[in-house]
Structure 1
Amino acid sequence: MDIHEFLELPHRFRWGGVGGDDCLTFPASWAARVTGTDPAEEYRGTYRDREEAQEILRLFGGSLGLMEHQLALVGAVRVHQPTTGDIGLIRAMTGDTRDERIEAEIGAIRFGPLWACIHPAGVRATKAEFIAAWRLPA
């Protein structure tokens, strides 16, 4: 499966990554398709909302620590110039409504010059600053 086929699949936003994905399980689902191993497997279904997700992030010192640890499990390596199919941690605006929009760290997948990420309304591709990026093994 290539990135285009993956992004065309029906995606739903679901905290905990069961029956859908959230902002960190979405790129993990892509990694699972590419490598055959789900880097988020041990956490899927263990949280149901943003607050419970934050508890897991605190264990790793934040999103970067969690992604670094979990992506190492599938052999991903850090890159400085991400290309299509790479996984990234980006800074982007998020929230269910305009009144709740906040800047957040979000897991995403590089798609040309954009980053694809999951949102309550579905998959969105956006320009964004990346904090870190990883290349999955072929």
Structure 2
Amino acid sequence: MTLQEFLSLPHQFRWGGVAGDDCTTFCGTWLRESVGVDPAEAYRGAYNTAEGAHDILATAGSLVAFAAAALEPLGFVRTDDPQDGDVGIVLAPSGMDGGKEVCAIRFGPLWALLAPSGVIAKKLDHVAAWRTPDGERIG
């Protein structure tokens, strides 16, 4: 499946990644479909609210630490030059507080993420990004 095909699917926002995805499991679903590895597998169904998700991230220390702990043991490597299909943490606008960190997929010059309203793609700054275990572009 190509990245464009994946992003075109009818994604539904659901906390916990069961019968839909949230912003974090959305990236896990992309990796499952593109490279056959789901770094979100252990967390699917482990929470079903924003508070449950935030509790998991708080335990990890941060979203970047959580993503690194889920991705790097599977062979994903950090990159400063994200390419199409790479996953990362981006700073997304969020009301008056200036922004929040969310998981996203690199898509050309944009980052695609799953919001409650559906998939959106925006030019955003990344905080951290990871490439596939074999280093191949998967977009």
User: TM-score when scaled to structure 2?
Assistant: 0.90
1:119-130 map, 5 Å: 119-130=115-126
| Structure 1 position 25 matched with structure 2 position 21 | no
Cα distance, 1:102 vs structure 2: 6.3
Structure 1 residues 80-136: Cα deviation after superposition (integer angstroms, max 9, x where no partner): 011111101000024xxx6x8862110000000000000111000011110000011
Cα distance, 1:76 vs structure 2: 1.0
Structure 1 stretches lacking a partner, 5+ long: none
The amino acid across from 1:25 in the alignment is T
| Structure 1 position 48 matched with structure 2 position 48 | yes
Contact 1:79–1:134 (Cα < 8 Å) also in 2: yes
User: TM-score when scaled to structure 1?
Assistant: 0.91
27-36 or 107-116, which deviates more: 27-36
Q: Match of 2:30, SS?
A: helix
Looking at structure 2, the residues matched to 86 and 39 of structure 1 have their Cα atoms a distance apart, in angstroms, of 13
Cα distance, 1:23 vs structure 2: 1.1
Looking at structure 2, the residues matched to 88 and 62 of structure 1 have their Cα atoms a distance apart, in angstroms, of 13
Q: Match of 1:42, SS?
A: helix
Looking at structure 2, the residues matched to 105 and 26 of structure 1 have their Cα atoms a distance apart, in angstroms, of 14
| Structure 1 position 8 matched with structure 2 position 8 | yes
Higher helix share: 2
- Between the two proteins, the alignment pairs up a number of residues equal to 134
| Structure 1 position 105 matched with structure 2 position 101 | yes
Looking at structure 2, the residues matched to 2 and 77 of structure 1 have their Cα atoms a distance apart, in angstroms, of 21
Structure 2 counterpart of 1:78: 78
Structure 1 residues 17-37: Cα deviation after superposition (integer angstroms, max 9, x where no partner): 111111111111111112212
Cα distance, 1:3 vs structure 2: 0.5
- Please provide the CA RMSD for this pair: 1.6
Structure 2 counterpart of 1:136: 132
Structure 1 counterpart of 2:62: 62
The amino acid across from 2:74 in the alignment is V
Percent identity between matched residues is: 47
115-124 or 32-41, which deviates more: 32-41
Looking at structure 2, the residues matched to 6 and 74 of structure 1 have their Cα atoms a distance apart, in angstroms, of 22
Contact 1:74–1:136 (Cα < 8 Å) also in 2: no
